[in-house]
A and B are shown apart, each in its own frame.
Chain A
Amino acid sequence: MEANPRSTGRLPAAFLTPGSSSFMDFLGDHAPEMLPGRRVLPPVKGVIEAPHGTTIVAASFPGGVVLAGDRRATMGNMIAQRDIEKVFPADEYSAVGIAGTAGLAVEMVRLFQLELEHFEKVEGAQLSLEGKANRLSTMIRSNLGMAMQGLAVVPLFAGWDVDREKGRIFSYDVTGGRSEEQGYAATGSGSIFARGSMKKLYREDLTEQQTTTLVVQALYDAADDDSATGGPDVARRIYPIVTVITEEGFRRLTEAESSELARSILERRLEQPDGPRAALL
């Protein structure tokens, strides 16, 4: 291979050849074995056991969008990790949360972050939010072979659209199918319960503070009914990761903020285990 990233000699010709602004395209030409989608898979019988991430939720509000995730990774009926991080900044104005095979998902996030950063550095401008969402689609599609063997990655992508000046949410299926969600969305094993919870609590005119509360309520409800989703772990001080993206850019709630949020919800649930109630009519 001509392309040895470990050598410190002259830059190989491929590095100086004018070409696309995409890091994935560059990898594909130069070091294809490093692309997750190009891997040759051995035939496998049954399902490969690997840690899975579970529930990610998102909701938009007039000034931005909130993306949050629980902290549990499971392998079968076992808890593989209690404090996994499944929500990451993709760049200054967007974030991605991942459900599915944790190892592959984290690799995909690294590559996605780099893809956006690389484009920005080469072109001197950011991709549009739509462009970013489409790029993620391509990456999921390239993972289809592994998804068929049970190693699926299903992300939720949220960001501030600088041109339209609003927060937007995109959800994906294993084939890379992308759909824009209005208001709120969830993915992962607890998503059915989280979605039901948000459906009853969501309003279009929520404030940022109310929206962060909403998503943590939804995660609590998901953990309540789905064993693969972890609730706030007060004993170990492990709380959901909550991120907010506004005009100002990406911000992750501090440990103190998310613990306060989770604790106040927990306190209310001690009195009312099923949480806040919506009006009947």
Chain B
Amino acid sequence: MTATQAQAQGTLEAVAARIRSHVVDMCAGPEGGHLGGAFSCADVLTALYFSVLNVDPERPDDPDRDRFLLSKGHAAVGLYATLAERGFFPVAELASYGRPGSRLMGHPVRAVPGVEMPTGSLGHGLALACGFALANRYAGRDARSFVLLGDGELQEGSVWEAAIAAASLRLDRLVAVVDRNGLQLTGATERIAPMEPLADRWRSFGWAVRDVDGHDPAALADHLSAAPWEPGRPSVLITRTVKGQGLPFLAGRAASHYVTLSERNHARAMAALRPKDTDG
């Protein structure tokens, strides 16, 4: 299935809605899941997998593929839903998430088709993606390397080690996305470890920076497709997002970070995700 065919399955908004509904189902399973951070990046994942990335579920190890890493690995439920919707494995397998014997662990592992590297301990993804980008450059491949970082994750010093290296090596086929939802496990990132002005920080490290709405998948796709935005500089897209976006009883709340949805809240969530217009 090509990206064009995948997109033909529906608008990017519709895909994102399906991804969110899968996440809700998984978070109603026995172990729950990181719903809030999966919802905040669902539109980015949609844009990447249904418009931007050159990947083929039939040939997941194609050396010329674009590579994507979910550095904020706790949003695994969002990645699993996206990979399944994109055809890397059957959507039905999502029901095994969190159940004994499943390969769908709470953080992504290589056993899951489409997952490039295991992630979850924060602050690893950008260095790995730098390695991908450098290897591609050496091999003369045009492929791009994408990495999605959490904003709380930016508190890890290793992120900035890698940011320095990427700029120093002029890795302009490297694209980072920051899921700037403003919340981490115990509260507001700005209360725990202020990071603003975030765009200036990245810019001062030598990156090309764009700071955008993170819930418009078509616009996100446009920005990501256009990277590199400045020759010789790696690109970072700071996406302003809402944790738990789309669920009135969880949106914008740190409590959405990790949830196990009760039957009642599962139903509430599914109702909230249902399209409001009934004319289709």
User: Are these two chains actual partners, yes or no?
Assistant: no
* Residues of A in contact with B (beta carbons under 8 Å apart): none
* Residues of B in contact with A (beta carbons under 8 Å apart): none
